[in-house]
Amino acid sequence: MECLPSVWLMVRTMSEKKIDDEMIAWGKEHLGAIPIDGIWSPDGSGVQYKKTGENEWSLMFMYNHPESKGMHEQLKALMFACGYTLLEGDGTQEIVPPLQPERQMQEEYERRQAVAKLWKCPTCEYPLANNELDMRVDEYVETSEIELSNGEHTPIELWRCLINCNGCGTVIPMEPDDYHLLAGDEYFMRCFINGYRYSALTRGEMKDLADAGIQTGVVLGGTHEGERVPPWMWGIYAVKTKMYESSEEE
């Protein structure tokens, strides 16, 4: 099955290469899937756009910082290559980023999280935040290679998270980063293998277990019990919980 690169991967490599056919294909699929009035705010970009028409976007705000302005120029070029127009008018907010990088990252994350709460099912427009997000399915797509800044190549696994819409029953595929933004750390940092749930622990929880002499968890690798483990769970110390009890027929 063919899978286009994720937002996380594509945005971070935009400044390292020219817009090519692969990037345009990604842009048409990703931007085309966002409904009118939908918001796009790529992670770490410092910019936010709103889809104001079938083939039109508007710049909503941008950090007054060279990196954000450079990223905006890259994203604008991508939009044009995909057949979109971009409005940059008086309604654009130019925000001075906080002096502390940690605060800047937190503010941007909170803005993107607020946008995620407004996402809707593409079929019936039921709010995604109201679905049973803890019952997602992680699906491996393929292993691809990316080029690093030093010219070397490294393999990367591409996955997607599937959730069910409570409004119409549609199975909605999401990029892991988007699911994480919508559902939060608790739901994201878990996976399901062979009828068991593996949940990551916080440092405080691991300390409490260690102080109590309880060592019942497992460190997850790339595979576990013959099944692939999603990359965000690699190297995680997780506790194992049985999801259902099997019943024997009499």
pLDDT digits (tens, 9 = 90+) for 92-123: 666 655 556 667 677 777 777 887 888 888 89
> CA 145, 23, 4: angle at the middle one, nearest 5?
55
Domain of residue 154, residue span: 119-187
**16 and 74 share a domain?**
yes
Mean pLDDT computed over 52-73: 86
| Amino acid, res. 188 | F
Query: What pLDDT does residue 194 have?
Result: 92
For residue 221, tell me if it sits in a domain: yes
For residue 132, tell me if it sits in a domain: yes
As a three-state string, the secondary structure of 8-69 is HHHHHHHHHCCCCHHHHHHHHHHHHHCCCCCEECCCCCCEEEEEEECCEEEEEEEECCHHHH
Total domain count, the chain: 3
Q: Tell me the torsion sign for CA atoms 203, 209, 210, 211.
A: positive
**206 and 165 share a domain?**
no
Instruction: Say what percent of the chain tops pLDDT 90.
Output: 31
Query: What pLDDT does residue 10 have?
Result: 55
For residue 247, tell me if it sits in a domain: no
For residue 63, tell me if it sits in a domain: yes
Q: What is the pTM of this model?
A: 0.67
**128 and 178 share a domain?**
yes
98 SS3 class: coil
Comparison of pLDDT for 142 and 92, the residue scoring more: 142
Query: What pLDDT does residue 250 have?
Result: 35
**220 and 134 share a domain?**
no
Query: In angstroms, rounded to a whole number, what is the distance separating the alpha carbons of residues 137 and 243?
Result: 14
**86 and 144 share a domain?**
no
Query: What pLDDT does residue 249 have?
Result: 40
| Amino acid, res. 132 | E
3 dihedral zone (left: phi>0; alpha: psi -120 to 50; beta): beta
For residue 248, tell me if it sits in a domain: no
Query: In angstroms, rounded to a whole number, what is the distance separating the alpha carbons of residues 84 and 88?
Result: 13
pLDDT digits (tens, 9 = 90+) for 158-203: 899 999 999 999 999 988 888 998 999 999 999 999 999 999 988 8
For residue 105, tell me if it sits in a domain: no
pLDDT at 2 over 80: no
CB-CB contact of 156 with 142 (8 Å): no
> CA 113, 52, 21: angle at the middle one, nearest 5?
85
Comparison of pLDDT for 227 and 71, the residue scoring more: 227
Comparison of pLDDT for 201 and 46, the residue scoring more: 201
**What is the rounded average pLDDT for all residues in the chain?**
82
In the DSSP assignment, the letter for residue 97 is P
pLDDT at 217 over 90: no
Query: What pLDDT does residue 21 have?
Result: 84
Run of H or E residues at 106:
helix 101-116
**198 and 181 share a domain?**
no
**6 and 93 share a domain?**
yes
For residue 49, tell me if it sits in a domain: yes
CB-CB contact of 199 with 187 (8 Å): no
Query: What pLDDT does residue 114 have?
Result: 81
CB-CB contact of 84 with 50 (8 Å): no
For residue 249, tell me if it sits in a domain: no
CB-CB contact of 126 with 165 (8 Å): yes
Of 165, 161, 163, the residue nearest 121 (C-alpha) = 165
Residue environment code for 116-135, b if the CB has 16+ CB neighbours within 10 A, otherwise e:
beebbbeeeebebeebebee
